[in-house]
Amino acid sequence: EAGVAQSPRYKIIEKRQSVAFWCNPISGHATLYWYQQILGQGPKLLIQFQNNGVVDDSQLPKDRFSAERLKGVDSTLKIQPAKLEDSAVYLCASSLQIADYNEQFFGPGTRLTVL
Amino acid sequence: AQSVTQLGSHVSVSEGALVLLRCNYSSSVPPYLFWYVQYPNQGLQLLLKYTSAATLVKGINGFEAEFKKSETSFHLTKPSAHMSDAAEYFCAVIHSSNTGKLIFGQGTTLQVKP
């Protein structure tokens, strides 16, 4: 079974530039999550989708971050414009459904450096 | 609100020694608790989870954790450390049963010395 795919793996940009990350979840997984992991911290949920609908985006900085999952499969996360503090690893995860005990499967992440 | 605290950002053990990584939780409802491991440049992998069945939970790679309600703890242990166990470990709690949102601790880096 293929895991969660993410691209690119690494990205270096200047502040005020734009950047986009792509995630393809495990086939059949209805729930998709984007996390931000700043160095030395645990992952923090940015946005959660159930199929193509947003379940939780309470911690997404909506003035600069956006995400979509148009066909309920793969997803993109965009930052425009980027700030220095956006330097982090962006992790995508998926699970079969929303449930307390459903395991979330994580992709390898995209490491973003903003200069 | 649910939260987890991991005591010790770095733990160092010798190969073959006991591994003990500490996690305390705060939850207003019976919690679902998880331990994840992250190897360098990789995503997180589930080690084990507590879902209110047995209080002693066995996971992959010889790890186990015990849920202690009286101590609000969910410490991770392994009897004998292996070099390949060197990684970062995260404790997490479900924030909301409606969304399955995970709240992670700060993480503990495990170093295994030969």
Q: What is the CA radius of gyration of chain A?
A: 13
SS3 A39: coil
Q: Is B9 at the interface with chain A, CB within 8 A?
A: yes
Average pLDDT over residues B3-22: 96
Q: What is the pLDDT of residue A101?
A: 67
Q: What is the pLDDT of residue B21?
A: 98
CB-closest option in A31, A42, A99 to B107:
A42
Mean pLDDT, rounded, of chain B: 91
Q: What is the pLDDT of residue B101?
A: 83
Q: What is the pLDDT of residue A100?
A: 57
Low-confidence ranges of chain A (pLDDT < 50): none
B:76-95 residues touching chain A, CB 8 A cutoff:
90, 92, 94
Mutate to test the interface with A, among B44, B91, B97 (most CBs of A within 10 A): B44
Q: What is the pLDDT of residue B110?
A: 97
Surface-to-core class of residue B114, CB atoms within 10 Å of its CB (0-12 exposed, 13-18 middle, 19+ buried): exposed
Average pLDDT over residues B33-49: 91
- Which residues from chain B sit within 8 angstroms of residue A45, using beta carbons? 101-102
